[in-house]
Structures are given as structure tokens and as C-alpha cells.
Amino acid sequence: MKIKMKGKQVVIFIIMSLLAVVMIYPFYFMINTSFKSNAQFLGAPGHSFFSWHKLFKALPVGHQLLNSTVVCTASIAIILFVSTLAGFSLAKMRSKASPLFFLGIVGAMLIPLQSIIINAYVNEANHFNLLSGYWGAILLYSALGTPFATFLMTSYFRGLPDDLIEAAICDGLSYPRVFTRIAMPLAVPAVVTIIVLQFIQIWDDLLVGLLFIQDPSYRTITVGLGALSAGRTTDIPVLMAGSLISAIPAVVVYLIFQRQLVNGLTAGIGK
């Protein structure tokens, strides 16, 4: 039995090592290529900071990182505000229409972005004039992220004991105070999960930012990199340097909150 267990552990270790190499190699390629000039990338020996210098000369990297931060922060704030209220209402303030609302939320999760983006673009451009700043992208990111966030918060709040909510109401707390004083402090893992998942998705997205942020001064970092690679020839080392800068915030957020992310997903879905 011990030999069999050791054999399984060795096989699992080998498989996980191969998967780690596959996952890590793109980052190695990105880092290694970013420290080369275009000539060095094509075969010349050595490394240099030429691509980094060219990147900061071609793009306002700091300003675009700030734009990405603004878009992510505002979108996540709206998503959390709507999803936490809706999730608590569906889980603890049940009515005959609650199953229908929840079914609608699940159905909204199944709608692909490509099927609604043209309609959203035309309506926002013609009727609300939201393409000249951040709001067009912020509202669409919020609309896309709210269904999953509401589903997760509803599942998490359903795991809270009903006796706890009823006891708080019997002690004189209203539903809004139960929500702010009891439900939300207990739902921190689910909230962190939403923040991390939505931050990674919004930060790395290109399509929505490219279409719904028309003013160059409001471009996010991913849109800036997309514009940088839109010419006839693309300087791969410069693009890799920009991609590395764009990837670092998402990686850092995941590494910081990875434990809370796992706890939030398992607690929300398991219950």
C-alpha cells in the first residue's frame, strides 16, 4: 500500500510539474523578450533596456495604469453594491418572485458578450453619449459582472443560519441593519472573491475598453497596448514589456488574496 501511495504521489508530482512548466513558460518568455531589442529578438546576442525605454516613450504608461485603476475600482464598486443587496434579498427576504429573479440572474450569466456588445455600443453612442469618458466601459463591465456576483452572494447568504437573522430581528434590528452589521461582516470571503475575479477580468479585458473608451486620454493599459500593436509591423519586445507591466497588478492581487479566493468560492458554491 505504501509503495502504491508513493507511486501515485510521484505521478501526481510529475504531472503538476509539467503543468507548472507550461503555465510559467509564457511569463519567462515575456520577461526574457522584454529585455531585448528587436534586433536581439530576431537573433542578435545579448539583452538591453531598449524596449523598456521605447515603451515609455511611445505610451503614457503611468496615466493608462491610472485609467485602468479608475475603471476597475468604479466597476467593482457598482458590482458589489448591487450584488450584495440583491443576494441578501434573494436569500433572506424571500418572496414568490424570488425564484424567478434568481432564474433570470442565472440566465444572464449565460449570455455571451459578443451577442450584446453591438447593441450596447449603438445605444450608448446614439442616446447617452457615454463613449467620451470612463462611464461607457464602467457601466458595461458592471452589467456583465453583476449576474455572477449576485449568484455567488445569494449562494453565500443562503449558507447563513436563518435563526441568526431571525434572532437579530427579534432583538430590534431592521433588515438594513442586519445586512450591514451581521450579513456583510460574515460575507467577507465572498466579497473578496468577487473583487479578485472581477479585477482580473476587467483589468485584462481589451474588447470593451477598445470600443467604449474612444478618447485616447482615457485609455486603459490594455487598450494602449492594443493600439501599440495595431500597426503594420509590431515590435514584439516592446509589446512584451508592456504586457508584463499590465500583468503584474493582476498577479499581485491574486497572490495576496488567493486564500480568501479559494475560501469564498468553496463556501459560496458548496452551500
* Structure confidence by residue, pLDDT tens digits, 189-222: 889 999 999 999 999 998 898 889 888 899 999 9
Residue-level pLDDT at 271:
45
Q: How confident is the model at residue 91 (pLDDT cuts 50, 70, 90)?
A: confident
Give the C-alpha distances (Å, rounded to integers) separating 72 from 123, 142, 195, 226.
23, 10, 9, 18
**Domain boundary assignment for the chain:** 64-270
What is the rounded average pLDDT for all residues in the chain?
Answer: 86
CATH architecture under which domain 64-270 falls: Orthogonal Bundle (1.10)
Nearest in space to 152 (alpha carbons), one of 203, 110, 102, 112: 102
| 76: pLDDT strictly greater than 90 | yes
Q: Is the pLDDT of residue 231 over 80?
A: no
Query: Which is more confident, 110 or 126?
Result: 110
What does residue 59 show for φ and ψ, rounded to 5 degrees?
A: -130, 145
pLDDT value, residue 92: 85
pLDDT at 35: 92
CB proximity list for 240: less than 8 A, separation 6 or greater:
29, 30, 31, 33, 34, 51
Q: Between these two residues, 16 and 266, which has the higher pLDDT value?
A: 16
C-alpha cell read off for 241: 514589456
Contact 234, 55 (CB under 8 A): no
When pLDDT is averaged across residues 245-263 and rounded to a whole number, the result is 83
Say if residues 224 and 210 touch (Cβ distance below 8 Å).
no
What is the grid cell recorded at 203?
A: 483589468
Q: How confident is the model at residue 52 (pLDDT cuts 50, 70, 90)?
A: very high
Q: Indicate the pLDDT class of residue 233, thresholds 50, 70 and 90.
A: low
> What's the pLDDT at 268?
47
Take residue 238 and report the three cell numbers written for it.
Answer: 516592446
* pTM exceeds 0.75 for this model: yes
C-beta contacts of 40-49 below 8 A and 24+ residues apart? 40/237, 41/236, 41/237
